[in-house]
Amino acid sequence: MTDIPARQADGNSAPMAHNVPVAAGRAAEAVTTKMTARDVNVFYGAKQALKNVSIDVSRENVTAFIGPSGCGKSTFLRCFNRMNDTVDSAQVSGRIQLDGKDIYSPDMDVVQLRARVGMVFQKPNPFPKSIYENIAYGPRIHGLARAKPDLDIIVESSLRRAGLWDEAKDRLNESGTAMSGGQQQRLCIARAIAVDPEVILMDEPCSALDPIATAKIEELIDELRGKYAIVIVTHNMQQAARVSQKTAFFHLGSMVEYGDTSMIFTNPVQTRTKDYITGRYG
């Protein structure tokens, strides 16, 4: 690996097997490392989609993955909640930790992991059930609510957090698929929030939405920042600049550069990053 990911100095970091050199001159505000990835390689059959990627994701910040299409952003993101397990041909190596615990170790329960590390997909995919059921499903299967009143509270608070309550409160029994695209995506965010996750992974959550709906989602991400560790994949650089504090740039399966968003966009270290930012390729 030629590019060393820059990493913020953190005082109260979770235990880590080995340290990554800290890039000099970067702002040092106190952040907690939520997830770490070390030397992650992903193969689809014989094809390597991800090469030796290491990164720290902090709890307080929104982390953006940017890069041209097919560079492995989604692949990497899906390592964090082991969604790649569902792809038969995918082979993941390396170490990924959540609060210092290896999520690929045999004693990690993948069902609980996915409750703790929620995911929002590229295309809004609400269940073809009522809005209420969409939210209530997760808490119910994880036993987070005993009775209907508890469930009602979870549904309302999740919808409120996702900024959807006012639009949805009078139509909780209507189908989630009958909402507009932007509403559906916020419903999916609410659904992820409902199981009380620690990390939320978003894979190009706005790519299927119009600008107004996109703005709402971005606003929502800003509000959720700090409550959950958020990782967002986007091919839209303006979006990365708007919503994230940390940005990682990927190219051809490698992570080229990782650092503060402001630095990446104004003063990138690598020429490849610079070329991408300035629109040389993409």
Partner 1 sequence: MASVIIPENEAVAVKLPTDWASPLMRGRVAARYRAERLFKLLGLAALSLAGLFLAFLLFTIVRDGWTGFKHTEVRISVSYDPALLGVDPAAATGPGGLEAIRRGDYIGLMQRAAAQLGPAANVVSDGAWLDLRQMVEANPAVLGTTQTVWVPVRSSIDLLAKGKFDLKEPEISRGVSNDDVASYNLLETRGLLKTSFNTIFTGAADSTDPELAGVWGAALGTFMTLLVTIALAFPVGVLAAIWLEEFAAKNRWTDLIEVSINNLAAVPSIIFGLLGLAVFLNFFNMPRSAPLVGGLTLALMTLPVVVITARVAIKSVPPSIRDAALGIGASPMQVVFQHVLPLAMPGIMTGTIIGMARALGETAPLLLIGMRAFVTDTPQGFASPATVLPVQVFLWSDDVQRGFIEKTSAAIIVLLVMLLLMNSAAIYLRNKFERRW
Ligand X SMILES: Nc1ncnc2c1ncn2[C@@H]1O[C@H](COP(=O)(O)OP(=O)(O)O)[C@@H](O)[C@H]1O
**Nearer of residues 54 and 183 to ligand X, judged by Cβ:** 54
Q: Do residues 253 and 71 touch, judged by C-beta distance below 8 A? A: yes
Q: Is residue 280 involved in binding partner 1 (CB under 8 A)?
A: no
Region from 23-31, 128-136, 146-154, 254-262 binding partner 1, contact rule CB under 8 A? 128-136
> Can residue 49 be called a binding residue for ligand X (CB under 6 A)?
yes
Q: How far is the CB of 196 from ligand X (least distance, A)?
A: 27
Q: Could you tell me which of 32, 37, 85 has the C-alpha nearest to residue 59? A: 32
Q: With binding defined as CB under 8 A, does residue 86 bind partner 1? A: yes
Query: Does 118 contact partner 1 by CB under 8 A?
Result: yes
Within 8 A by CB and 6+ apart from 37, the residues are 53, 54, 55, 56, 57, 76, 79, 80, 94, 95, 96, 97
Considering only residues 43, 44, 137, 165, which one is a binding residue for partner 1 as defined by CB under 8 A? 137
Rounded alpha-carbon distances, angstroms, from residue 225 to 114, 148, 191, 220, 275: 19, 29, 17, 9, 29
Residue 12 or 86: which CB sits closer to partner 1? 86
Check binding of 44 to ligand X (CB under 6 A): yes
- When binding is defined by CB under 6 A, the residue of 89, 112, 271, 278 that contacts ligand X is 89
Q: Out of 34, 73, 186, 191, point to the residue binding partner 1 (CB under 8 A).
A: 191
Nearer to ligand X by Cβ, of 157 and 207: the residue is 207
Kindly state the smallest distance separating residue 72's Cβ from ligand X, in Å: 4
Q: Which of partner 1, Mg ion, ligand X, none does residue 54 bind (CB under 5 to 8 Å by kind)?
A: none
Ramachandran angles phi, psi of 168, nearest 5°? -105, -15
Half-sphere exposure of 169 (CA within 13 A, CB side): 9
Q: Please report whether residue 175 would count as binding partner 1 according to CB under 8 A.
A: yes
Q: Are strands 117-120 and 199-203 parallel, antiparallel or unpaired?
A: parallel
Number of residues in contact with partner 1 under rule CB under 8 A: 31
Evaluate whether 175 touches 130 at the Cβ level (below 8 Å): yes
Token pair belonging to 272: 């490849």
* Complex with partner 1: residue 54 or 81, whichever CB lies closer: 81
Taking CA atoms, 265 is separated from 19, 45, 245, 278, in Å, by: 26, 35, 11, 9
Report the partner that residue 161 touches, choosing among partner 1, Mg ion, ligand X, none (CB closer than 5 to 8 A by kind): none
Shortest spacing between CB 252 and Mg ion, in angstroms:
14
State whether residue 217 is helix, strand or coil.
helix
Residues 36, 14 contacting (CB under 8 angstroms):
yes
Please tell me what DSSP assigns to residue 159: H
By CB under 8 A, which span of 64-72, 110-118, 226-234, 237-245 interacts with partner 1? Answer: 110-118
**Interface with partner 1 by CB under 8 A: which residues?**
81, 83, 86, 88, 111-115, 118-121, 123, 125-130, 137-138, 141-142, 175, 177, 188, 191-192, 194-195
